[in-house]
Amino acid sequence: MPDSQLIAARHVSTRVDHPAVRWMLIVLAVLVVGVLIIVPVINVFAQAFSAGWTTYWTSLLADADTRHSILLTLIVAPISVAANVVFGVAAAWAIARFRFPGRTLLTTLIDLPFAISPVVAGLLIVLIFGLQGYLGPWLREHDIKVIFALPGLILATTFVTLPFVARELIPVMEAIGPEEEVAAVSLGANAWQTFWHVTLPNIKWGLLYGVVLCNARAMGEFGAVYVVSGRIDGLTCTMPLRVEKLFQQLRHDDMAGSFALASILTLLALVTLAAKVSLERKTRGELAEAAATKIVGAEPLVAETVGTSA
Amino acid sequence: MATTSRRVLPGFTASLSVTILYLTVLVLIPLAACVMKTLSLSPAEFWAAVWTRQARAAYEFSIGASIVSALVNCVLGLLIAWVLVRYEFPGKRILDSLVDIPFALPTAVAGLVYSSLYVERGWLGQFLVPMGIEAAYTRLGVVVVLVFIGLPFVVRALQPVLESLEVEAEEAAAMLGASRWQTFRWVIVPLILPALVTGFSLSLARALGEYGSVVFVSANRPFVDQIAPMLIVAKLEEFQYGEATAIAVVLLIMSFALLIAVNVLERWSKRHYA
Amino acid sequence: MSIKVDNVTKRFGDFVALDNVCVEAGGGALLALLGPSGSGKTTLLRVIAGLEAADAGTIYYKDENVTSQTARERNVGFVFQHYALFRHMTVFENVAFGLRVRGWSRERIRARVSELLKLVRLDSIEHRYPSQLSGGQRQRVALVRALAIEPKVLLLDEPFGALDAKVRQELRQWLRRLHDELHVTSIFVTHDQEEAFEVADQVVVMHDGRIEQDGTPHDVFEHPANAFVMDFLGNVNVFHGRLQNGHAHVGGLELEYPDYPHSEALQAKVYVRPHELDLDYARGANGSLKARVERVNPAGSVAKVFVLSEEFGIGVHVELSLERYAELNPRPGDTVYVSPRRVRVFVPAAEEGPEYVI
């Protein structure tokens, strides 16, 4: 008889609520999620396809500006994600593997972009790189465009999605512990070999999880890019911006185009969610595995103590 | 552990340099620019920018709508977290995953669909509008979409705490004669209160800064349904960077205060309940 | 108030935690449920409390059938193994909880709780939170909280399990005294036989969901009902022997065993407690076992001697009184003769061997 099963079964009786209460609460919860989440998601697709498949595809592909917005998002998001992966791995290595003064401050700084309104984030970038910004005159002299151009979009998106990878990796690396890496170094591995052969295999699912979340937010980012982009069709409109632009034009055809584009973004969200669920299971596995090897490693010690006391 | 690994493991200087450089360029310098811009305003100018009637109305609505939506989220989030942790029912895992949709769905999509759901001919509006409930292009609409945006924060803050509640605490309450409701009210709620407050604050912070979805469901009418971030954008579009920055500083101070409050609270509850 | 457990069975899946258990505790009794982990003692306690529903059988409080009552309705004091104090409430609030849910007025609660806390000398720390208390203090708070509601019955799950040795000892005596003052029918679960014998009036030994023996501490210790009880009570030498023609043969020893007069040999286990063995340098009259002294440890209230019979390959633990030890003064390497004052024989098949005493 496994103990856990016994305990699980044992505690049920006093914690069980009356069936009527139970079912009422379940129905209420399903209703809340239904109205707030499920109905809107279904509605996006319903409106996107309301005029049939042909209209759907035309409104997506026949419009050059919409096509450009998809392309632009596919350029901006991967660059931001890549930058944040490099940063996230470096930050996690420094914070999870070393103790140093200011470590807590650093962790707080990493979280900061979550606390800043995207609009304010966009404003901060405008303040530096805008025409009247601190670097404005210098940039104009050298004919570099940041605001109302691709670099601005990338900067804004990177800022807003900065914490995702690092926040995901730090707890994973702390839970796994430095033992395996110390072992690798003691066996003569250099920094790169240690990272590539020991650390990365251990954190791969956690890293991927961070990448998935970071990417979803990068593709969907609105407020910050809204401010820095100037929303120039065919030039600086990413997918979410294009959705808004079409929506604001208040023409029937444009509404259909808006929902068609939104349906692509919704699909992206659903894929992200599915990936998230399966990756969560894998990261849990990663941590459980790390815990298991530690226990196995400790076993001879336990046996020894028992042996001497017996 | 840490001090020994510091000596043994490579890459401390390199990783810390990359981290600090990156944070400096992306976070610290922009924040410094913000501070500089603010300091370039005289106190009178600053005050004039942040305390106009329109700005005050925007803060009021921003804060009011955010608090109301975060409170609603506390109730709905507790309900959902409770059901997900305590009960078994078909479709539970799907429900659990769906709770994350507001995290994954671009805010523009949420705004777009919420703006059309509650109009008179919309899926939900066709029932609600005849009852006098208008949640499109109204203050109510803004609150509803903020509830959507903030819901997962409360659920995800509560779930682990509800899961780790000691069974014995509830059994002890029952043995001492408490009814289920008394147990919930006097034992469970106090134990999950820190997590609930954390969820509330996160949801509130997110709502305060939210722009993407609100821009769709609000008619952007000053004194009615204009939120503070919308006012910032409006100022920017008029190229009034100073005023925009001043209002942004007010918003930043509010978010930082919340962030600090959450941290203090978490530390306090750890010490208190350890 | 008396408690009666009548033919209670409880299963968890395929696992039978309680198998037709019958126990009765008289009014005002202090009963110990003693057994190894997994023996079903905690489950039995929880069934009595109403925290667990029995699959079959009946629970009576005095003459009242409470089987279908919930834990809440039974008005039972329960002390959890890890105390289950409410960590967001002070000592005072913890003790007051049961009165608060009963709708007592603020003043009445104040008076009653203060009185109780004074009784157990916890009144000076009534504003502390559980995390600020020592293990022994937590234990006392848990007990007072359970007693505050004036329960008809007090149930304790491993009440001293989480404490260190010294505090355990103090709290045991404290519990005994408290029980003598209050006379609440009490049942506690323990895996520690010493604790059971020291505190309880009645000891119930459990094993694999069944009751092995139910009696006074003296009965159980002096007259174990079967091999399991004998073994579980610990400190026992077990010999594999043979019964034949009214005799038990163990190594070189031949003991009279009139209950088995048959000529057909029967395997049996012979149990001898270390303090029921004697050593001598001369061969005894009833036959004795020749052995060599291996280790001697005179530290403590008795002298522990370990001897080895090379002939039969048997190691035997012997406990001598310090006087006897001084008289003999055995040294490692000495050849001695071991003779039992008393042995118990249990036939494995029946497990119900009559006791045999020389």
Out of A4-8, B142-146, B255-259, C332-336, pick the least confident: A4-8
In terms of residue numbers, what domain contains A172?
52-309
User: Closest partner residue to B209 among A47, A118, A191, by Cβ?
Assistant: A118
Same domain, yes or no: A37 and A184: no
When comparing pLDDT for B6 and A238, which is higher?
A: A238
| B172: contact with C, CB 8 A cutoff | yes
**Does residue A253 have a pLDDT over 80?**
no
Q: Which residues of A92-130 are buried (b: 16+ CB within 10 A; e: fewer)?
A: bbbbbbbeeeeeeebeebbebbbbbbbbbbbbbbbbbbb
Same domain, yes or no: C112 and C220: yes
Using alpha carbons, select from A159, A132, A224, A135 the residue that is nearest to residue B233: A224
**Does residue C171 have a pLDDT over 50?**
yes
Same domain, yes or no: C256 and C118: no
- The count of domains in chain C is 2
| C138: contact with A, CB 8 A cutoff | no
Rounded to an integer, what distance in angstroms lies between the CA atom of residue B81 and that of residue B92? 11
Average pLDDT over residues C345-357: 57
Phi, psi of C211 (to 5 degrees): -85, 125
**Chain A environment of C70 (Cβ under 8 Å):** 14
Phi, psi of C340 (to 5 degrees): -85, 140
- A167 close to A111: Cβ distance less than 8 angstroms: yes
A-contacting residues in B 4-43 (Cβ below 8 Å): 4-6, 8-12, 14-16, 18-20, 22-23, 26-31, 33-34, 36-37
Same domain, yes or no: C146 and C266: no
CB contact under 8 A, A185 and B10: yes
Q: With H, G, I as helix, E, B as strand and everything else as coil, classify residue B40.
A: coil
CB contact under 8 A, A186 and B210: no
Residue type, position A30, single letter: V
Looking at residue B273, its pLDDT comes to: 64
With helix as H, strand as E and coil as C, how does chain C read?
CCEEEEEEEEEECCEEEEEEEEEEECCCCEEEEECCCCCCHHHHHHHHHCCCCCCEEEEEECCEECCCCCHHHHCEEEEECCECCCCCCCHHHHHHHHHHCCCCCHHHHHHHHHHHHHHCCCHHHCCCCHHHCCHHHHHHHHHHHHHHCCCCEEEEECCCCCCCHHHHHHHHHHHHHHHHHHCCEEEEEECCHHHHHHHCCEEEEEECCEEEEEECHHHHHHCCCCHHHHHHCCCCEEEEEEEECCEEEECCEEEECCCCCCCCCEEEEEEECHHHEEEECCCCCCCCEEEEEEEEECCCCEEEEEEEECCCCEEEEEEEEHHHHHHHCCCCCCEEEEEECCCEEECCCCCCCCCCCC
Same domain, yes or no: A100 and A132: yes
Residue A281 vs residues B94, B206, B239, C96: alpha-carbon distances, Å: 14, 27, 49, 44
User: Closest partner residue to A6 among C12, C53, C70, by Cβ?
Assistant: C12
Rounded to an integer, what distance in angstroms lies between the CA atom of residue B53 and that of residue B71? 27
Rounded to an integer, what distance in angstroms lies between the CA atom of residue C191 and that of residue C161? 9
Q: Tell me the sheet residues that pair with C175.
A: none
- Residue C232 is assigned to a structural domain of this protein: no
Q: Tell me the sheet residues that pair with B70.
A: none
User: Closest partner residue to C88 among B168, B179, B190, by Cβ?
Assistant: B190
Same domain, yes or no: C278 and C142: no
- Residue B234 is assigned to a structural domain of this protein: no
Residue A127 vs residues A96, B30, B227, B239: alpha-carbon distances, Å: 34, 8, 21, 11
**Does residue C258 have a pLDDT over 70?**
yes
What tokens were used for A147? Answer: 């605001």
What tokens were used for B187? Answer: 């034992």
Same domain, yes or no: A11 and A79: no
Same domain, yes or no: C74 and C215: yes
Rounded to an integer, what distance in angstroms lies between the CA atom of residue C18 and that of residue C21? 6
**Partners of chain B (3+ Cβ pairs below 8 A):** A, C
pLDDT single digits (tens) B203-262: 999 999 999 999 999 988 989 999 999 999 999 999 899 999 999 999 999 988 988 888
Using alpha carbons, select from B238, B234, B239 the residue that is nearest to residue B221: B234
- Residue B232 is assigned to a structural domain of this protein: no
Average pLDDT over residues A165-178: 91
Label residue B63 exposed, middle or buried (CB < 10 Å: 0-12, 13-18, 19+): middle
Number of Cβ within 10 Å of residue C49's Cβ equals 22
- Residue B235 is assigned to a structural domain of this protein: no
Looking at residue A308, its pLDDT comes to: 28
Q: Which of C226, C254, C271 is the last residue of a domain?
A: C226
CB contact under 8 A, B104 and A273: yes
Same domain, yes or no: C90 and C204: yes
When mean pLDDT is compared over A77-91, B179-193, B231-245, C3-17, the highest value belongs to A77-91
- The count of domains in chain A is 2
**Does residue A295 have a pLDDT over 70?**
no
Looking at residue C349, its pLDDT comes to: 55
Same domain, yes or no: A176 and A212: yes
CB contact under 8 A, C12 and A9: yes
Probe site for chain C from A3, A4, A6, A18 (most C CB atoms < 10 A): A6
**Chain A environment of C17 (Cβ under 8 Å):** 6
Rounded to an integer, what distance in angstroms lies between the CA atom of residue C228 and that of residue C346? 10
Q: Which residues of C290-319 are buried (b: 16+ CB within 10 A; e: fewer)?
A: bbebeebeeeeebbbbbbebeeeebebbbb
- The count of domains in chain B is 1
- B170 close to C86: Cβ distance less than 8 angstroms: no
Phi, psi of A176 (to 5 degrees): -70, -35
- Residue C231 is assigned to a structural domain of this protein: no
CATH of residue C254's domain is: 2.40.50.140
Using alpha carbons, select from A159, A149, A169, A160 the residue that is nearest to residue A91: A169
Out of A245-259, B75-89, C27-41, C110-124, pick the least confident: A245-259
- C86 close to C142: Cβ distance less than 8 angstroms: no
Looking at residue B1, its pLDDT comes to: 41
Same domain, yes or no: A209 and A163: yes
Looking at residue C283, its pLDDT comes to: 79
Probe site for chain B from C51, C101, C132 (most B CB atoms < 10 A): C101
What tokens were used for A238? Answer: 């990413």
Same domain, yes or no: C142 and C28: yes
A-contacting residues in B 194-223 (Cβ below 8 Å): 205, 208-212, 215-216
A-contacting residues in C 41-80 (Cβ below 8 Å): 43, 46, 51-53, 70-71
- Chain B closest-CA separation from residue C148 CA (Å): 9
Residues 6+ apart with CB under 8 A from A180: A198, A202
Q: Tell me the sheet residues that pair with C156.
A: C79, C188
- Residue B70 is assigned to a structural domain of this protein: yes
When mean pLDDT is compared over A211-220, C173-182, C324-333, the highest value belongs to A211-220
Same domain, yes or no: A42 and A64: no
Rounded to an integer, what distance in angstroms lies between the CA atom of residue A33 and that of residue C152? 47
- Chain A closest-CA separation from residue C11 CA (Å): 10
pLDDT single digits (tens) C275-311: 888 888 887 766 678 889 999 998 888 889 999 888 7
Residue A73 vs residues A233, A235, A239, B176, C170: alpha-carbon distances, Å: 13, 11, 6, 60, 72
Same domain, yes or no: A166 and A34: no
Per-position DSSP letters for B163-223, written without gaps between them: HHS-HHHHHHHHHTT--HHHHIIIIIHHHHHHHHHHHHHHHHHHHHH--TTHHHH----TT
Looking at residue A16, its pLDDT comes to: 73
Looking at residue A10, its pLDDT comes to: 38
**Does residue B185 have a pLDDT over 60?**
yes
Report the interhelical angle of A118-129 vs B189-209 (nearest 10°).
40
User: Closest partner residue to C52 among A1, A5, A13, by Cβ?
Assistant: A13
Residue A4 vs residues A11, C44, C262: alpha-carbon distances, Å: 11, 18, 50
**Chain C environment of B177 (Cβ under 8 Å):** 72, 75, 98, 101-102, 149
Same domain, yes or no: C71 and C193: yes
CB contact under 8 A, B274 and C76: no
What tokens were used for A54? Answer: 């042909």
Looking at residue C189, its pLDDT comes to: 95
pLDDT single digits (tens) C52-70: 889 999 999 998 999 888 8
Same domain, yes or no: C17 and C154: yes
Same domain, yes or no: A29 and A155: no
Residue B57 vs residues B35, B222, B248, C109, C357: alpha-carbon distances, Å: 24, 7, 15, 50, 97
Phi, psi of A278 (to 5 degrees): -70, -35
Residues 6+ apart with CB under 8 A from A178: A97, B1, B5, B8, B9
Rounded to an integer, what distance in angstroms lies between the CA atom of residue B115 and that of residue B113? 5
Looking at residue C213, its pLDDT comes to: 94
User: Closest partner residue to B175 among C76, C82, C89, by Cβ?
Assistant: C76
User: Closest partner residue to B172 among C70, C75, C80, by Cβ?
Assistant: C80
- Chain B closest-CA separation from residue A125 CA (Å): 6
**Chain C environment of A14 (Cβ under 8 Å):** 51, 70-71
Same domain, yes or no: C37 and C80: yes
Using the Cα atoms of residue B138, residue B140, residue B145 and residue B150 in order, give the sign of their dihedral.
positive
pLDDT tier, A305 (very low <50, low <70, confident <90, very high otherwise): very low
CATH of residue C108's domain is: 3.40.50.300
**Does residue A38 have a pLDDT over 60?**
yes
Rounded to an integer, what distance in angstroms lies between the CA atom of residue A189 and that of residue C8? 64
CB contact under 8 A, A87 and B18: yes
CATH of residue A101's domain is: 1.10.3720.10
Rounded to an integer, what distance in angstroms lies between the CA atom of residue A29 and that of residue C255? 76
CB contact under 8 A, A13 and C15: no
Same domain, yes or no: C171 and C47: yes
CB contact under 8 A, A10 and C46: yes
Element (H, E) at A301: helix A252-309
Same domain, yes or no: C274 and C217: no
Same domain, yes or no: A219 and A234: yes
CB contact under 8 A, C101 and B177: yes
Q: How far is CA B224 from the centre of its chain?
A: 22
**Does residue A5 have a pLDDT over 50?**
no
Probe site for chain C from B161, B175, B183, B191 (most C CB atoms < 10 A): B175
Per-position DSSP letters for A204-253, written without gaps between them: HHHHHHHHHHHHHHHHH--HHHHHHHTT-TTTT--HHHHHHHHHHT--HH
User: Closest partner residue to B212 among A29, A99, A223, by Cβ?
Assistant: A223
User: Closest partner residue to A99 among B2, B15, B112, by Cβ?
Assistant: B2
- HSE (side-chain half, CA atoms, 13 Å) at B153: 24
Phi, psi of A80 (to 5 degrees): -60, -45
- Residue C31 is assigned to a structural domain of this protein: yes
pLDDT tier, C238 (very low <50, low <70, confident <90, very high otherwise): confident
pLDDT tier, A13 (very low <50, low <70, confident <90, very high otherwise): low
Rounded to an integer, what distance in angstroms lies between the CA atom of residue C65 and that of residue A139? 89
Looking at residue A207, its pLDDT comes to: 94
Q: How far from each other are the two terminal CA atoms of chain B, in whole angstroms?
A: 23
**Does residue A44 have a pLDDT over 50?**
yes
Looking at residue A89, its pLDDT comes to: 96
Looking at residue A8, its pLDDT comes to: 37
**Partners of chain A (3+ Cβ pairs below 8 A):** B, C
ipTM here: 0.91
**Does residue A250 have a pLDDT over 80?**
no
Probe site for chain C from A5, A11, A13, A17 (most C CB atoms < 10 A): A13
Same domain, yes or no: A44 and A80: no
In terms of residue numbers, what domain contains B216?
66-225
Q: Which of C198, C226, C254 is the last residue of a domain?
A: C226
- C145 close to C85: Cβ distance less than 8 angstroms: yes
| A308: contact with C, CB 8 A cutoff | no
Same domain, yes or no: A39 and A150: no
In terms of residue numbers, what domain contains C141?
3-226
Average pLDDT over residues A57-78: 92
Looking at residue C226, its pLDDT comes to: 86
Q: Which of C226, C258, C283 is the last residue of a domain?
A: C226
User: Closest partner residue to B187 among C70, C86, C102, by Cβ?
Assistant: C86
- Residue C348 is assigned to a structural domain of this protein: yes
Whole-number average pLDDT of chain A: 86
Same domain, yes or no: A234 and A148: yes
Looking at residue A4, its pLDDT comes to: 38
